[in-house]
Amino acid sequence: MPVPNSNDNSRPPAAWCYSGNQLKRWRTLANISREALAAAANYAPETIASMERGVRMPTPRVLDVADELCGAQGMLSAAKEYVRRERYSARAVDFIEREREATSLWWYEVALVPGLLQTQAYARVLIDNRIPPLDEETVEERVAARMERQALLAQRKPPVGLSFVLYEAVLRSPLVDAEQLQRLLEVSRLRNVVLQVLPFERAFSDALMGPMVLVEAPDHERFAFMEGAFASELSAEPGVVSRVTERLSMIRTRALDPDESARLIERMVNQP
């Protein structure tokens, strides 16, 4: 059955909106200016305004400071538990929910190492260099959330079947260091993981159109996820799932086999 897609990337998580709304209400009731709260929490007034509108996640520090300033008696601090659950960008929330329940994943990436395979250092560089920039607490929350997702690799019982294909450009990126390459090798040795590389010379047009993920749910329903620079789509529409399945199957066929892929990555690690 069709599911709502994530094309409306301006839609912030509900916990952000509600907590921000309460933050503004308590601040107004206590006659505390936005500038006073910003100074006490060591944030810019514009950042506090963004939190009150739900555009930014109200951080634990702001909620605690506001709770004390406004005399909220724990009502604002209590929101910390809920906003922490929304540690992903709005465009990724639906996909993360499907990923968490998946029985298998087929994943193809054109430019970036998949989140499930990233080192903490690599993840931090990506998250910390967004435009517009995120505040430090949000960066740390999202890095931690990304690392927690990696429990899917080896800690689920029964294991999740995971197949990754990385275009060679992913490995050649200046962001990918020896530690990240070693991490890919480590993950590739897991029994439930298949890791392949699509070399430059084997690429074809459909393989250059962007990342694709195919998620299989416990009831065997399949979802296709496509992410672009400004929009993402999660779809269970049979035609979309069929096209993504066909493209992923062709990409896997054209890619190096797992042993050849591992040897390529090993050579890159050992390059001076």
Full domain range(s) for residue 79: 14-84
163 and 240 in one domain?
Answer: yes
Domain assignment present for 207: yes
Domain count, the chain: 2
pLDDT at residue 75 in the model: 95
Each residue's pLDDT tens digit, 100-156: 899 999 999 999 999 999 999 999 999 999 887 887 877 888 899 899 999 999 888
Distance (Å, whole) CA 232 – CA 31: 41
Domain assignment present for 4: no
Of the candidates 65, 64, 62, the residue with the CA atom closest to the CA atom of residue 49: 62
Q: Which of 67-71, 89-93, 130-134 has the lowest mean pLDDT?
A: 89-93
* Residue 188 · residue 262 · CB < 8 Å: yes
* Residue that is written with structure tokens 């090993």 in the block: 266
Which of 66, 84, 102 is where one domain is finished? 84
Domain assignment present for 7: no
122 and 70 in one domain?
Answer: no
* Residue that is written with structure tokens 């890791």 in the block: 195
Which of 84, 108, 137 is where one domain is finished? 84
95 and 75 in one domain?
Answer: no
3-class SS letters over 195-245: EEEECHHHCCHHHHCCCEEEEECCCCCEEEEEECCCCEEEECCHHHHHHHH
Domain of 34, CATH number, reads 1.10.260.40
pLDDT at 7 over 60: no
112 and 71 in one domain?
Answer: no
Percent of the chain predicted with pLDDT > 90: 72
188 and 76 in one domain?
Answer: no
pLDDT at 184 over 60: yes
Each residue's pLDDT tens digit, 75-90: 999 998 887 655 666 6
CA distances 253 to 53, 105, 171, 202, 220, Å, are: 48, 17, 19, 10, 23
130 and 75 in one domain?
Answer: no
3-class SS letters over 174-196: CCCCHHHHHHHHHHHCCCCEEEE
183 and 99 in one domain?
Answer: yes
- The angle at the Cα of 87, spanning 196 to 51, to the nearest 5 degrees, equals 140
Q: What is the largest CA-CA distance in the chain?
A: 66
Distance (Å, whole) CA 147 – CA 142: 9
Domain of 166, CATH number, reads 3.30.870
112 and 67 in one domain?
Answer: no
Domain assignment present for 8: no
Q: What is the dihedral of CA 88, 91, 94, 100, to 10 degrees?
A: -40
42 and 160 in one domain?
Answer: no
Say if strands 161-167 and 193-198 run parallel, antiparallel, or are unpaired: parallel
238 and 137 in one domain?
Answer: yes
Which of 57, 84, 111 is where one domain is finished? 84
142 and 77 in one domain?
Answer: no
Domain assignment present for 178: yes
129 and 78 in one domain?
Answer: no
Domain assignment present for 74: yes
**How would residue 1 be classed by pLDDT, with cut points 50, 70 and 90?**
very low
Domain assignment present for 225: yes
pLDDT at residue 89 in the model: 65
